[in-house]
Structure 1
Amino acid sequence: MNIIDAHCDVLFQLWEKDLSFFSSNELQVNYKKWMKSSVKVQCFAIFVPDYVSEESQFNIALEMVDLFYTHIIEPYDDIKFISSKEDLLELKENERGAVLTLEGCHVIGRDIAKLKTLIRLGVRAVGLTWNQANAVCDGIGESRGAGLSIFGKEVVETLNKERIWTDVSHLSYQGFFDVMEIASYPMASHSNVKQLCSHRRNLDEKQISSLIERKGWMGITFVSSFLADKEPTTYQDVIRHILYVIQMGGSSSIGFGSDFDGATSYPIDLKDCLHYNRFVKELAHYIDQADLQRICYQNFIDKFPRLR
Structure 2
Amino acid sequence: MEGTHLLRIDGHADILYRMETESLDFYQDTHTLHLNYNRIVQGGIDLQFFVLWPGSRMTAAEQLKSILAMIDMFYEDVCSSGKIRPILSKRDLVHNLANGQRSGLLSIEGGDCLQGDIRILRRLYAQGVRAMGLTWNPGNCIANGVNDPEDHGLTAFGRDVVAEMNRLGMVVDVAHVAEKGFWDVIEVANAPVINSHANARALCDHRRNLTDDQLKAVFQTGGVVGVTFVPHFIKSEGEVAINDLMCHIDRMLTLGGEDHIGIGSDFDGIERTPLDLRHGGDLPRLEEALVKAYGDRVASKIMGANFKRVLESILHD
Interval of TM-score (by shorter of Structure 1 and Structure 2): over 0.9
Counterpart in the other structure of 1:42: 48
Residue in structure 1 matched with residue 133 of structure 2 by the alignment: 127
Offset of 1:85 from its aligned partner? 2.8
The CA distance in 2 between the partners of 1:215 and 1:56, in whole Å, is 35
> Which consecutive residues of structure 1, in runs of 5 or more, have no partner in the other structure?
none
Q: What is aligned with 1:257?
A: 264
Q: Are 2:216 and 1:209 equivalent residues in the alignment? A: yes
DSSP-derived class of the 2:294 partner = coil
Q: Number of residues paired by the alignment?
A: 307
2:170 to 156, 164, 168: 164
Aligned counterpart, 1:139: 145
Q: Which amino acid aligns with 1:206?
A: D
Q: What letter is aligned with 2:168? A: E
* Runs of 4+ in structure 1 over 3 Å off: none
Cα pair 2:60 2:114 within 8 Å, conserved: no
- Asked if 1:238 is matched to 2:245, the reply is yes
Query: For 1:237-259, what per-residue CA distance to the aligned partner results, in whole angstroms no more than 9, with x for missing partners?
Result: 11111111111111101110000
2:24 match: secondary structure: coil
Task: Tell whether the 8 Å contact from 1:160 to 1:185 is kept in structure 2 after alignment.
Answer: no
Q: CA deviation at 1:299?
A: 0.8
What's the Cα RMSD here? Answer: 1.2
Shift of 1:37: 1.8
What letter corresponds to residue 219 of structure 2 in structure 1? Answer: I
**Following the alignment from structure 2 to structure 1, what is the Cα–Cα distance between the partners of residues 289 and 307?**
21
1:70 to 2:76 alignment: yes
Counterpart of 2:46 in 1: which secondary structure? strand
Q: Per-residue deviation at 1:90?
A: 1.1
| Equivalent position amino acid for 1:15 in 2 | E
| More deviation, 292-301/5-14 | 292-301
* Structure 2 spans left out of the alignment, 5+ residues: 1-5
The alpha-carbon deviation at position 298 of structure 1 amounts to 1.0
Offset at 1:288? 2.2
User: Is contact 1:4-1:40 (8 Å) kept?
Assistant: yes
Partner residue, 1:117: 123
* 1:94 Cα offset (Å): 4.3
Aligned-residue offset at 1:54: 3.3
Aligned pair partner of 2:291 in 266, 278, 284:
284
Question: How far apart are the structure 2 equivalents of 1:230 and 1:241?
Answer: 15
Aligned to 1:269: 276
Deviation of 1:53 (Å): 3.0
Larger displacement relative to structure 2 (50-59 or 152-161): 50-59
SS in 2 for 1:187: strand
C-alpha distance in 2 between matches for 1:13 and 1:87: 26
What's the TM-score, normalizing by structure 1?
A: 0.97
**Residue in structure 1 matched with residue 59 of structure 2 by the alignment:** 53
Contact persistence 1:78–1:94 (CA under 8 A): no
Give 1:80 shift.
1.2
> Per-residue CA shift, 1:259-291, capped at 9, x if unaligned?
000011111000111000122112211112111
2:90 aligned with 1:85: yes
- Say if 1:303 and 1:94 are closer, same or farther in 2 by CA, change over 3 A: closer
Who is 2:196 aligned against? 189
1:99 and 1:29 map into 2 onto residues whose CA distance is 14
Paired position in structure 1 for 2:38? 32
- The amino acid across from 1:31 in the alignment is Y
Equivalence for 1:306 = 315
Q: 8 Å contact 2:16–2:73 — kept in the other structure?
A: yes
- Does residue 149 (structure 1) correspond to residue 155 (structure 2)? The answer is yes
Measure, in 1, the Cα distance between the counterparts of 2:147 and 2:61: 22
